[in-house]
C-alpha cells in the first residue's frame, strides 16, 4: 500500500472516529456526565504567614498529592508540557483529529498501537477514570470524556487538574509534590533541565523514576528537550546545556516543619485543605535546626522546647514543641511549650520590677546576700555561697536568691501574682497553698508559652500582649493596666542586657535571664530585644532530675544559637523613658542607699522611731482577692516604722489581736471599698483606702 493511501485511510479514520465521539456525546452527555467528583482528594497543607508550605499530610490512600494551579508553576514548564504532550491544546475541544489521523496511520503501518493521540484533556479523563489496558474502547471512552470535560471546564482548569494529579512514580502525584521530592523546591522557578524531567516522568512514571531508573529518566528528559527545542519552546542552546545537568538520583523528604502546630491545626479543622499559621518558615527552619543540633549534645531522654513571639502583635513566629516528634525516647509527641514546669529564677525580673516601681530600690542600692530566715523559709543560693553586700544590679545579673526573696517579701507575693494576671498569666500554686516567698525561686508551675507572654511586657515598655497558638489564637494587646511601669521595665532591661553571654556566644544586644529548677529538672533561658521574645526550656518530659542541667550552661547557648539561626535582625531595646536614669550610689537618696529588712520585718530605710506607715496595700489600690468567685483570700498587711505593739482596724472595727509584727493578715467580708488603719504603741496612726475585687 502506498504511503498516500495510508495517510488518506489514517486521516479518514481519525475524522470518522472524531465524528463518532461527538455523535456519542450528543446522545449521552446528560445521561452519563464525567465523574469529576471522583478525582482523588488532595493533601492537607499547613502554611506559614506568607503562604509558604511548612508541612503536608499524605492523603487517606497514602499519596502526596498537593493542589497545583497554572499560577503555581514556572511558565517555562507549561510551554514545554504543551509542546511535548499536546501542541494544539488551546485549539481543539478535547480531541485532536490530526493527532488521531497520525495515530491511525501508525496503527495501519505497524499493525499495533504506536501512539494514542492523547490530548491533555484525555489524560485528565484517564486520571479521573483509570483503566489498566490500552484498548480502542478505552481510548474511545477517554475521547468522549475529554470532550465532556472541555464543555464543563476552562483550559486553565483542565491544566490545573493535570498539574495536581499527574503520576510521578511511587506515591507522588502532581508537579508540586514531584518538584519538592526531587529538587527540594516549589515549581514556581524551574531550570530548563528540571522542567524537562517533570514533563517526561508522567508518561511512564514507574519506569522513569530517577531514584530507581536513572538512565531511563535521563533518556526521557533528553527526548523532551529535543522536542521542546524543535517547537521553539526553549531558547537556542538551552537543550544542550540542560542535558549536561545531572538528574537527581534520590528523593527528598517533603517539608515537615512545625509538627505540633501542624497537628493542632489539623485537629481544629480536619476538613480544611489549607491551614494558615502565624509562623515564618525561615524562623521555623532556624529553630528546628537549632533543636536538632542541641539534641546531639543533650543526650538521650532529654527534650527541649522553643517559642519565638512578636512582642508587639503576639503572633508566634516559630515554635518547637520537642526535639523530634517521632522520638519515643524523648516523648517527642508531647508539646512541651504547653506543659507546666517550675520556672526556676525566670520570674525574678518581675520582682525587681515591682521593687523599682515602688521606689524601694535603685540599680545601685546595696542589698544583702547573706543567710536569712523569713519566718522559717531559708533560701540559699544555687552555688551555696553568698556574696555579702551587692548592688541590686549585681544581684539580678548574678541571679542571687536571697536578695530576690528579700525584695519579694517587701513587695508581697500576692501582689506579684496580681501583676501576672494583668498579663493574662495564672501560674499554678501548690495545692492548698497561698502565695509565698518560694514563688521567686520557682515555687509555682508555669508553661514556656506563659513565661514568654510575661516577657513580652519587658520587650514592649510594660504592655503585655496575649500570644497566640500559632494557628487561630487571638493574639494582641491585653486591655487594662500595664504589667509594670515603663521606668521599672527600663531598669530591668538595662540590667538584663548586661548579663554576660554564655561561652562562645556573640553579644547580640539582647536582654536575657536564665533559670534552673529545684533538683536540676528544668533549664530555662528567656531573651528579648525590642521586638521579639524567645524562650527555651530543656529537661526530661517525665520530670526526672538531670545532674548538671542548668539554665546558663544548657539553655542559654541554645537561646543565642536560636536567635542567630532565626534569621531575624536584632531590634534595639527600647530607649529610656522620661525619668529613667542609672544613678550612682553616692547620688542616691539616703533611703535608697541600702535595702534590708530586720528580724521584726522593718524596712530599714530610715529611723525606727518614725511614725507607722502602711506600705502594703498602697493607697487607692485595687486588690484582686477572688471576690468574683465568692471565696476571698486574705489580704497581706505590711507597715514600716512605729513602735510595737500594733492595733489594726478595718472599716473602724479592730482586728482580734494586738500584733508585735509588722506583717499581718485580714480577710474582708466582701468586695468594695475598705478603710484600713494601724495604731502603734505611742498612739500614732496611719490609714489607707483600698478596693477589694
CA atoms within 13 A on the CB side of 558: 37
Pick the catalytic residue from 43, 45, 85, 566.
85
Helical axes 413-422 vs 348-357, angle rounded to 10° = 100
Using DSSP, state whether 57 is helix, strand or coil.
strand
CA-CA distance, 191 to 74, in Å (whole number)? 9
For the stretch 151-184, what's the b/e string if a residue is b when 16 or more beta carbons lie within 10 angstroms of its beta carbon? eebeeeebbbbbbbbbbbbbebbbbbbbbbbbbe
Q: How far is Cα 645 from Cα 684, in angstroms, rounded to an integer?
A: 12
> Do residues 34 and 124 make contact, with C-beta atoms less than 8 angstroms apart?
no
| Distance between CA atoms of residues 311 and 292, nearest Å | 26
553 burial level (CB within 10 Å; 0-12, 13-18, 19+): middle
For residue 308, give the H/E element and its range. Answer: strand 303-310
- Asked if omega into 203 is within 30° of 0 (cis), the reply is no
Helix-then-strand count for the chain, H and E: 19, 23
Q: Which of 184, 196, 189, 199 is nearest to 238 (CA)?
A: 196
The span from the CA of 375 to the CA of 580, in Å, is 35
Question: How many residues are recorded in the chain?
Answer: 693
Rounded Cα gap, residues 209 and 215, in angstroms = 9
Burial of 662 per CB tally in 10 Å (0-12, 13-18, 19+): buried
Which of 121, 303, 322, 345 does the annotation list as catalytic? Answer: 345
Report whether 122 contacts 146 (CB < 8 A).
yes
Residue 145, CA distances (Å) to 42, 122, 256, 514 in order: 22, 7, 37, 67
Closest C-alpha to 406, from 397, 396, 419 = 396
- The contacts of residue 142 (CB under 8 Å, 6+ apart) are 118, 122, 125, 126
- Sorted by sequence, the CB contacts under 8 Å of residue 92 that are 6+ apart come out as 119, 121
415 touches 616 (CB < 8 A): yes
Answer whether 290's CB lies under 8 Å from 497's CB: no
Our CA angle for 392, 615, 646, nearest 5°, is 125
As a whole number of angstroms, the distance between CA 551 and CA 516 comes to 5
Candidates 667, 622, 625; CA nearest to 648 is 667
Active site annotation includes 607: no
* DSSP of 392-453: HHHHHHTT-HHHHHHHHHHH-HHHHHHHHHHTT--PBPPTT----GGGGGT-SBB-HHHHHH
Give the rounded distance of the alpha carbon of 665 from its chain centre: 44
| 345 given a catalytic annotation | yes
Alpha-carbon distance of 317 to 563, in angstroms, equals 12
Give the residue from 309, 332, 310, 307 showing the smallest Cα distance to 322: 332
Q: How far is the C-alpha of 44 from the C-alpha of 509, rounded, in Å?
A: 40
User: Which of the residues are catalytic?
Assistant: 85, 345
Amino acid at each position: 500500500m502506498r504511503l498516500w493511501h495510508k495517510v488518506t485511510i489514517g486521516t479518514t479514520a481519525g475524522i470518522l472516529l472524531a465524528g463518532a465521539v461527538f455523535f456519542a456525546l450528543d446522545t449521552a452527555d446528560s445521561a452519563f456526565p464525567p465523574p469529576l467528583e471522583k478525582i482523588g482528594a488532595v493533601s492537607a497543607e499547613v502554611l506559614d504567614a506568607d503562604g509558604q508550605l511548612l508541612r503536608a499530610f499524605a492523603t487517606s490512600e497514602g499519596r502526596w498529592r498537593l493542589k497545583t494551579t497554572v499560577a503555581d508553576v514556572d511558565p517555562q514548564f507549561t510551554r514545554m508540557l504543551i509542546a511535548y504532550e499536546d501542541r494544539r491544546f488551546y485549539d481543539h475541544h478535547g480531541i485532536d483529529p490530526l493527532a488521531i489521523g497520525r495515530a491511525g496511520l501508525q496503527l495501519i503501518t505497524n499493525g499495533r498501537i504506536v501512539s494514542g493521540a492523547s490530548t491533555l484533556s484525555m489524560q485528565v479523563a484517564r486520571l479521573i477514570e483509570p483503566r489498566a489496558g490500552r484498548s480502542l474502547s478505552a481510548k474511545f471512552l477517554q475521547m468522549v470524556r475529554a470532550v465532556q470535560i472541555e464543555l464543563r471546564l476552562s483550559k486553565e482548569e483542565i491544566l490545573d487538574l493535570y498539574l495536581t494529579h499527574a503520576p510521578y512514580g511511587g506515591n507522588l502525584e502532581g508537579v508540586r509534590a514531584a518538584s519538592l521530592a526531587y529538587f527540594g523546591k516549589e515549581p514556581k522557578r524551574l531550570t530548563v533541565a528540571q522542567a524537562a524531567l517533570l514533563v517526561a516522568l508522567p508518561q511512564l512514571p514507574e519506569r522513569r523514576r530517577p531514584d530507581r531508573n536513572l538512565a531511563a529518566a535521563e533518556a526521557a528528559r533528553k527526548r523532551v528537550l529535543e522536542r521542546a527545542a524543535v517547537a521553539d519552546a526553549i531558547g537556542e542552546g538551552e537543550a544542550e546545556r540542560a542535558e549536561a545537568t545531572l538528574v537527581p538520583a534520590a528523593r527528598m523528604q517533603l517539608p515537615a516543619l512545625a509538627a505540633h502546630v501542624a497537628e493542632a491545626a489539623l485537629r481544629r479543622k480536619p476538613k480544611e485543605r489549607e491551614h494558615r499559621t502565624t509562623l515564618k518558615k525561615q524562623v521555623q527552619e532556624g529553630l528546628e535546626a537549632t533543636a536538632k543540633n542541641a539534641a546531639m549534645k543533650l543526650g538521650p531522654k532529654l527534650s527541649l522546647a522553643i517559642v519565638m513571639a512578636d512582642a508587639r502583635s503576639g503572633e508566634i513566629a516559630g515554635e518547637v514543641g520537642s526535639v523530634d516528634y517521632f522520638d519515643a525516647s524523648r516523648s517527642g509527641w508531647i508539646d512541651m511549650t504547653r506543659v507546666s514546669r517550675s520556672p526556676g529564677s525566670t520570674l525574678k525580673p518581675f520582682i525587681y520590677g515591682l521593687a523599682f516601681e515602688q521606689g524601694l530600690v535603685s540599680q545601685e542600692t546595696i542589698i544583702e546576700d547573706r543567710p536569712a530566715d523569713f519566718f522559717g523559709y531559708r533560701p540559699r543560693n544555687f552555688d551555696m555561697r553568698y556574696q555579702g553586700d551587692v548592688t541590686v544590679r549585681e544581684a539580678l545579673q548574678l541571679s542571687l536568691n536571697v536578695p530576690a526573696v528579700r525584695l519579694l517579701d517587701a513587695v508581697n507575693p500576692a501582689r506579684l501574682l496580681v501583676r501576672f494576671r494583668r498579663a493574662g498569666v495564672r501560674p499554678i500554686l501548690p495545692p492548698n497553698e497561698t502565695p509565698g516567698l518560694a514563688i521567686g525561686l520557682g515555687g509555682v508551675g508555669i508553661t514556656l508559652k506563659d513565661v514568654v507572654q510575661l516577657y513580652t511586657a519587658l520587650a514592649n515598655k510594660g504592655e503585655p500582649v496575649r500570644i497566640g497558638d500559632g494557628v487561630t489564637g487571638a493574639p494582641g494587646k491585653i486591655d487594662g493596666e500595664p504589667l509594670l511601669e515603663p521606668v521599672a521595665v527600663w531598669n530591668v532591661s538595662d540590667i538584663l542586657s548586661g548579663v554576660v553571654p554564655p561561652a562562645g556566644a556573640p553579644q547580640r544586644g539582647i536582654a536575657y535571664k536564665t533559670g534552673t529548677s529545684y533538683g536540676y529538672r528544668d533549664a530555662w533561658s528567656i531573651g528579648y530585644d525590642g521586638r521579639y521574645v524567645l524562650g527555651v526550656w530543656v529537661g526530661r518530659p517525665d520530670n526526672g532530675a538531670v545532674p548538671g542541667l542548668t539554665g546558663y550552661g544548657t539553655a542559654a547557648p541554645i537561646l543565642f544559637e536560636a536567635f542567630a539561626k532565626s534569621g531575624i535582625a536584632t531590634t534595639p531595646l527600647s530607649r529610656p523613658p522620661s525619668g529613667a536614669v542609672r544613678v550612682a550610689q553616692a547620688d542616691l537618696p539616703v533611703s535608697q542607699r541600702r535595702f534590708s529588712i530586720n528580724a521584726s520585718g522593718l524596712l530599714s530605710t530610715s529611723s525606727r522611731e518614725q511614725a507607722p506607715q502602711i506600705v502594703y496595700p498602697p493607697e487607692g489600690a485595687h486588690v484582686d482577692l477572688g471576690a468574683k468567685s465568692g471565696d476571698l483570700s486574705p489580704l497581706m498587711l505590711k507597715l514600716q516604722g512605729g513602735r510595737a505593739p500594733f492595733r489594726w482596724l478595718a472599716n473602724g472595727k479592730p482586728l482580734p489581736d494586738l500584733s508585735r509584727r509588722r506583717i499581718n493578715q485580714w480577710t474582708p467580708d466582701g468586695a468594695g471599698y475598705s478603710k484600713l488603719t494601724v495604731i502603734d504603741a505611742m498612739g500614732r496612726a496611719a490609714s489607707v483606702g483600698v478596693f477589694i475585687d
